[in-house]
């Protein structure tokens, strides 16, 4: 049995859905109050601003991505194994909550300083971790890439659209998606004939 959400958790959940649907800038506190069925003024007894919610979503998701990546890197010894597990970890975080994933990927631009700069620093650190795996693979002659940054950005770009088409009751599970994406991203579309 799932525990009931606190009012603050309800506000965050509804705000996440609205931010995904309408965008952060187009969502008002009045919109949020209407969806919750409460007066707009009463929301402020639970949160300071809608940016507080955005901050919480973005930085919580960043923590989830880093924790998943830490576990993924520890699980593999070769660069190929580490990259496959990093892709799987990324997919599993994205598919766990597609509304929060969409907000994380699209609405972070609305964070004010210093949160905006902190978020960009985390994003760069995360991307660098993928580049490190790719560098390791190039060094060990597992990978041949024209540019490690290009390779990392191509992989992450391919993964980060997942929230737009993934369906929990769809044809493939998150693990199957991760396996298939890893195969395509690492091997391309060529046959081995």
Please write the tens of the pLDDT for every residue from 78-125: 999 999 999 999 999 999 999 999 999 999 999 999 999 999 999 999
Amino acid 73: pLDDT? 87
Between the CA of residue 106 and those of 101, 122, 170, what are the distances in Å? 8, 15, 23
DSSP per residue, 42-105: HHTTT-S-HHHHHHHHHHHHHHHHHHHHHHHHHH-SSHHHHHHHHHHHHHHHHHH-HHHHHHHH
Amino acid 192: pLDDT? 58
Amino acid 6: pLDDT? 83
How far from each other are the two terminal CA atoms of the chain, in whole angstroms?
52
Nearest alpha carbon to residue 131 among 161, 154, 151 = 151
Whether the CA torsion 73, 76, 81, 85 is positive or negative: it is negative
Amino acid 173: pLDDT? 95
Amino acid 47: pLDDT? 87
Q: For 90, phi and psi rounded to 5 degrees?
A: -60, -45
Q: At what angle do helices 148-159 and 79-96 cross, to 10 degrees?
A: 30
- Identify whether the C-beta of residue 89 lies closer than 8 Å to the C-beta of residue 71: yes
DSSP 33: H
- Would the pLDDT of 189 be above 80? no
Distance CA 74, CA 82 (A): 8
Question: Which fold is adopted by the domain 51-187?
Answer: Tetracycline Repressor; domain 2 (1.10.357)
Average pLDDT over residues 121-134: 96
| pLDDT band at 17; cut points 50, 70, 90 | very high
């Amino acid at each position: 049995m799932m525990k009931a959400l606190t009012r603050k958790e309800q506000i965050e959940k509804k705000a996440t859905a609205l931010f995904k649907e309408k965008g952060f800038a187009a969502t008002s506190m009045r919109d949020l109050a209407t969806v919750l069925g409460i007066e707009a003024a009463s929301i402020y007894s639970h949160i300071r601003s809608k940016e507080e919610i955005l901050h919480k979503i973005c930085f919580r998701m960043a923590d989830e991505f880093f924790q998943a990546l830490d576990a993924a890197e520890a699980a593999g010894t070769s660069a190929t194994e580490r990259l496959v597990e990093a892709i799987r970890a990324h997919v599993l975080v994205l598919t766990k909550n597609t509304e929060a994933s969409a907000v994380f990927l699209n609405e972070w631009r609305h964070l004010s300083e210093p949160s905006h700069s902190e978020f960009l620093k985390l994003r760069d650190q995360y991307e660098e971790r993928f580049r490190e795996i790719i560098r390791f693979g190039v060094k060990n002659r597992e990978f041949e890439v024209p540019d490690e940054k290009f390779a990392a950005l191509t992989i992450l770009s391919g993964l980060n659209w997942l929230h737009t088409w993934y369906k929990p009751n769809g044809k493939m599970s998150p693990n199957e998606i991760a396996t298939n994406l890893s195969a395509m991203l690492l091997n391309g579309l060529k046959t081995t004939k």
